[in-house]
Structure 1
Amino acid sequence: MLTATVLAGLSAMTCSQAARADDYTDLLDILRAKGSLTKGEYGTLLTKHLHHSHPSLDRDDDGPARSARGARGTSESGTGTRYAADMRHARTHDASPDVTPVFVDARDAANNAAASARSAHDSMLAAQQAVHDPGLVHVAKYVPGKGLTFQAGEIAINLSGFVNGFYTYNSPSTGQTVAGGVSTGAGGNKFDASAVRNGLLPAGLITKITTTQEGIDLAAVFGMYPGIDNATNGAFNANTGGSPVGLGTAGLDFRQIYITAGNKKWGTFKVGRDIALFGSDAILFDATLLSVGSTGSNAAPGNTSLGRIGVGYVYADWIPQISYASPVWHGLQGSVGIFQPLDEFNFAGDGSSATSTYHSSPMVQGKFSYDFTAGDLKGRIWAGFLAQHQQRLTSSILAQSTGRGATVEAGEIGTKLSYKGFEGVAYYYRGSGLGTTGLFFDGIAADGRKRDSEGFYVQGAYSVTKRLRLVGSYGVSNLYQGPMELDPDLVKRNESEVGALFYKITDWLQLVGEYAHTESSAHNGNKAKDNSASGGAVLFF
């Protein structure tokens, strides 16, 4: 009696579960028909329901579960038939044909995606660590004209440089004595000369090492500037006139050795040897920097030609210094420094000028610049100054024991403007005791009194195409006699006209053709003139 009761209860439970299963399926059908469920939602819910309602029948008709049902006999045949019908019903209504629940597949896909993301993240971290690994060196993307940069951890090593060579034919048309003149005819020379030589620039190889430590940008720079012609010893070292004799060797001008420390917020300090402030923009914007200009000595060329040095500006020079450059504020920047004082030099010779080799105080230089852009117009305006006290002046008529001294003062102003393919430069300087051509060359008369000097140059350029550029310039440097001075052979005026074309072959290489006329005149009316034609190539990397 008890056994019969239990069997009846189990049968009722089974029927109740089947009914609930049928009701649930019907409910899903109704919701699907009303549009409350999407196809994907309907299939997912139905498959999940069937899976939980018949856990022993969750295999395909050909799977192990079906075999088990066959082994257990027909007591489950009704349930199995209903399950199979429901599965077919689910398939008919776009449910997944795989009885594995869709949410399980989604979960597995999500887990796989998360694993892939973790793997990609780990790879990225490994790559970043490799980039900053001090033991790994890689090359930064090359930018034309910016050199090659090798990155070793936090340290960057930049190598840049240039090489040039020109054939120059120089012909003095007038040759009279002009003491301190820059024309090749200034010494009375009237002989033509051919040379294969450097232009205003020698060759150059510059190494710059930079890093940032504790918020301070640090750099060390080494600049080597060799010439291609034989060198000879002289007052100007590698820049002295050359020696075209067999078995000679080229000269090396080690112009740059300095460090910098600072940042964009506080400015930058420089300690070492580099180009000075006064006159630096004048020479860097001079088109003859990439050509020859006034040749200087062409029969025996040294490391460089003169370009426009002494015929428009006084050479800035490369001078030991401790200087400071402020941060750039709306295009405005100021620089100031103390520099190794330079000797007063008698460039004209024959006792024309006083000399000095004693210096108890440094040279001081400063410069202000303003860079701006207004539409297609870009420009720079700058102004600079220089001051140095020359002590214990001596000359053919002035004894050192007299203790005569003089304070040299000079100022400059200039601008560079560019508009589309046009570019113009205008520059002017004036000094008292400054001299001409080089700093403190013939700046003080033999009696110890300062000579005034001034000069200017104007330059225009036009880019005909992206490759072809035409340039023309004119410049003058004047040296006036001191009070009550009478030195008839002393140079009064150096001037030159230059026309050049530059043709860019590649990002590195350009060809140059140039004509230059240089003229020097003395206070007594003596004149010296020369003409030169040059052609060559310049390579920058």
Structure 2
Amino acid sequence: MIGVQLALISAFRTFSRSPSVVPESMRRSSRNSFLAVSLLASSSLFLTAHQARADEYTDLLDILKIKGSLTQGEYSALMIKHRRHQQESAEAESDRSDRRATRLASTRDQDRAGHFHSTSSSAHHVAVASGSDVTPVFLDAQDAAYDAAASARSARQSMLAAQAAINDPTIVRVDKYVPGKGVTFHAGPVAINLSGFVNGFYTYDNAYGRYVGGGTSAGAGGSKFDASAVRNGYLPAALITKITTTQDGIDMAAVFGMYPGLDNNKPGAMNANSGGSPVALGTPGIDFRQVYMTFGNKKMGTIKIGRDLGIFGSDAILDDATLITLGSIGGNSAPGNTSLGRIGVGYLYADWIPQISYQSPMMSGVQVTVGVMQPMDEFNFAGTNNNGTGPDALSAQSTHHSAPMAQGKVTYDFTSGDIKGRVWAGFLIQHQQRLYSSVISESQGKSATVEAGEVGAKLSYKGFEGVGYYYRASGLGSTGLFFDGITPAGNKRNSEGYYVQGSYSFDKKLRLAASYGVSNLYQAPGEIDSILVRRNESEVGALFYKWTDWIQFVAEYSHTESIAHNGNRGKDNSASGGAVLFF
């Protein structure tokens, strides 16, 4: 092919030196033709060199198979495709050779007979008139044109093959990584996302006070002590697997969320969320909080079936700055899977509840979520009188339910210039049956309908962010859902709480946050002052430094106080430092 290009250059120069042979206009036209022919010849040279290296593809497949990167099935399929392409290339080359031989013989016969045809190719006449036989040059150029057309067809076939490979179930692809969104693999039409987080803190706590039944302060246990621990924060660790696909226009997902802790587990009423056991040869608790599926689309909305975070109180938790710190530690001498954050000191824990729920499409920023949930028992969290050792329980309990719990909320998201925000309102309702205590028995058929409502707002403006939240309930209790919500006589206790929070981001790395929250549990008519908690409150300040896209360092101080109806108080002051990694 190099000889072809040299011949083209020689012919072009000969033609340029013979201005008397043809008019100037014909010379300009032919000069352009020669340039085009030269480019086509160069393209042919590239394609020929590319074909000469075709066997390197076979070598590459052999290496990948030996290294285990290809299965036997993948190797065989790719080799079959490669052999077919080689055969097609050989057949195309044979056709070109036959066409060239035929054209060359025909052109030479015409030249011997002295026939000169008037065609659009002025360059051919000039070359023959000047005594230069450049017929092979034009034949090579024509071959180059055929090769270029074949290359275009091959490129199109490669593009179609690449598009088909996107949904090929034998090929696994990986999405470009986005910090905080996990790693996503695609196997044909199925996407598998792995995400999660790990955290750990050193915490020092100074606790003191008198006993408060149901108090969230570490000092509510009625003693004075200092305690150190290496522990989880409000969140344990997590490994979350999400599998998604679309079939017949329906988006579907299955989610499995595993949340292990750092410290030894000592199962109690709250299972993995009970207090820990810092004894040698212990093992941590594994909290498999999430197991659910979803299906739907942007037009019909989404249905969820399984175990996931409840609806009532979920925004209050997810907007809480202590979510990635500790907040109220709830005891430091034998830490469990988590601290308390603002549970019981600003909101009730939404909890992870078996449910069937529906979330509507977003309509002008408005979205509705409703669901039926596994009904929960009334629970005597506060214990008994006389510092928890007396015979009389402080609250009634229940074990039977003929109807599910219902929850729902409405959210509105908006943007106005640099201001972004969300406002929401939610509800919870459940009928409690067969209440029992030391005062009443299940056979009496005592029942109560528990009701609760909430409102909240979150606003952000440039580096500032503020959150405000309020709830009020009858029979729902404090701290956890249905904790101490009903008296031993079967009467509902009212409760309410709120928290306010502000934060400021100095830049993309450094952020400061502070919050204050309160939860109140009121006595029902006829109750006398007891050691039952009346009020839990806390103040929290935290500093966050985002070192990389994955890891943040956290320093925090919190003060928590619990007050009983009889005036007992428990307090604690804690300082923590550690890191959180999200991937």
- Shorter-chain TM range is 0.7 to 0.9
2:260: which partner in 1?
Answer: 226
Task: Number of aligned residue pairs: give it.
Answer: 484
* 1:39 lines up with 2:81 in the alignment: no
Considering only CA atoms, is the larger Rg found in Structure 1 or Structure 2? 1
Deviations 1:85-134 (A, max 9, x none): x989947x9x9987549997876555333211111111112222223211
1:50: which partner in 2?
Answer: none
Gap regions ≥5 residues in structure 1 = 1-25, 46-54, 70-75, 81-85
- 1:501 is paired with a residue whose SS is strand
1:16: which partner in 2?
Answer: none
Aligned match of 1:143 in 178, 181, 184? 178
Deviations 1:311-351 (A, max 9, x none): 00000000000111111112211110100000001111111
2:328: which partner in 1?
Answer: 294
User: Following the alignment from structure 1 to structure 2, what is the Cα–Cα distance between the partners of residues 512 and 483?
Assistant: 45
1:538: which partner in 2?
Answer: 580
How much has 1:417 moved relative to structure 2? 1.2
Given residue 406 of structure 1, which amino acid in structure 2 is its aligned partner?
A
User: Following the alignment from structure 1 to structure 2, what is the Cα–Cα distance between the partners of residues 493 and 113?
Assistant: 83
Q: Quick check: 1:43–1:96 contact (8 Å CA) kept in 2? A: no
Q: 1:44 to 1:298 in 2, by over 3 A?
A: closer
Matches within 5 A, 1:103-502: 110-172=145-207, 174-350=208-384, 351-502=393-544
User: Following the alignment from structure 1 to structure 2, what is the Cα–Cα distance between the partners of residues 344 and 529?
Assistant: 27
Given residue 134 of structure 1, which amino acid in structure 2 is its aligned partner?
P
Q: Quick check: 2:30–2:123 contact (8 Å CA) kept in 1? A: no
Structure 1 window deviating more from structure 2 (110-119 vs 153-162): it is 110-119
Q: Quick check: 1:43–1:90 contact (8 Å CA) kept in 2? A: no
User: Following the alignment from structure 1 to structure 2, what is the Cα–Cα distance between the partners of residues 470 and 113?
Assistant: 63
Q: 1:316 to 1:98 in 2, by over 3 A?
A: farther
Q: Quick check: 1:268–1:325 contact (8 Å CA) kept in 2? A: yes
How much has 1:508 moved relative to structure 2? 0.9
User: Following the alignment from structure 1 to structure 2, what is the Cα–Cα distance between the partners of residues 96 and 473?
Assistant: 96
2:8: which partner in 1?
Answer: none
Gap regions ≥5 residues in structure 2 = 1-18, 35-103, 117-121, 385-392
Q: 1:88 to 1:540 in 2, by over 3 A?
A: closer
Q: 1:260 to 1:42 in 2, by over 3 A?
A: closer
Structure 1 window deviating more from structure 2 (132-141 vs 362-371): it is 132-141
TM (norm. structure 1) is 0.83
- 1:111 is paired with a residue whose SS is helix
User: Following the alignment from structure 2 to structure 1, what is the Cα–Cα distance between the partners of residues 131 and 146?
Assistant: 20
Matches within 5 A, 1:7-26: none
Q: 1:187 to 1:115 in 2, by over 3 A?
A: same
Given residue 536 of structure 1, which amino acid in structure 2 is its aligned partner?
G
How much has 1:362 moved relative to structure 2? 0.2
Given residue 193 of structure 2, which amino acid in structure 1 is its aligned partner?
N
Q: 1:217 to 1:38 in 2, by over 3 A?
A: farther
What root-mean-square deviation, in Å, do the aligned CA atoms of Structure 1 and Structure 2 show?
3.1
Q: 1:270 to 1:90 in 2, by over 3 A?
A: same
- 1:192 is paired with a residue whose SS is strand
1:12: which partner in 2?
Answer: none
User: Following the alignment from structure 1 to structure 2, what is the Cα–Cα distance between the partners of residues 230 and 254?
Assistant: 16
Runs of 4+ in 1 over 4 A off after TM superposition: 41-45, 55-59, 86-91, 95-110
Given residue 151 of structure 2, which amino acid in structure 1 is its aligned partner?
S
Given residue 265 of structure 1, which amino acid in structure 2 is its aligned partner?
K
1:15: which partner in 2?
Answer: none
- 2:322 is paired with a residue whose SS is helix
User: Following the alignment from structure 1 to structure 2, what is the Cα–Cα distance between the partners of residues 56 and 141?
Assistant: 57
Q: 1:385 to 1:103 in 2, by over 3 A?
A: farther
- 1:310 is paired with a residue whose SS is coil
How much has 1:487 moved relative to structure 2? 3.4
Q: 1:319 to 1:38 in 2, by over 3 A?
A: farther
Deviations 1:279-309 (A, max 9, x none): 0111111111100110112111011000110
Given residue 149 of structure 1, which amino acid in structure 2 is its aligned partner?
T
Q: 1:261 to 1:196 in 2, by over 3 A?
A: same
Q: 1:293 to 1:96 in 2, by over 3 A?
A: farther
User: Following the alignment from structure 2 to structure 1, what is the Cα–Cα distance between the partners of residues 138 and 504?
Assistant: 71
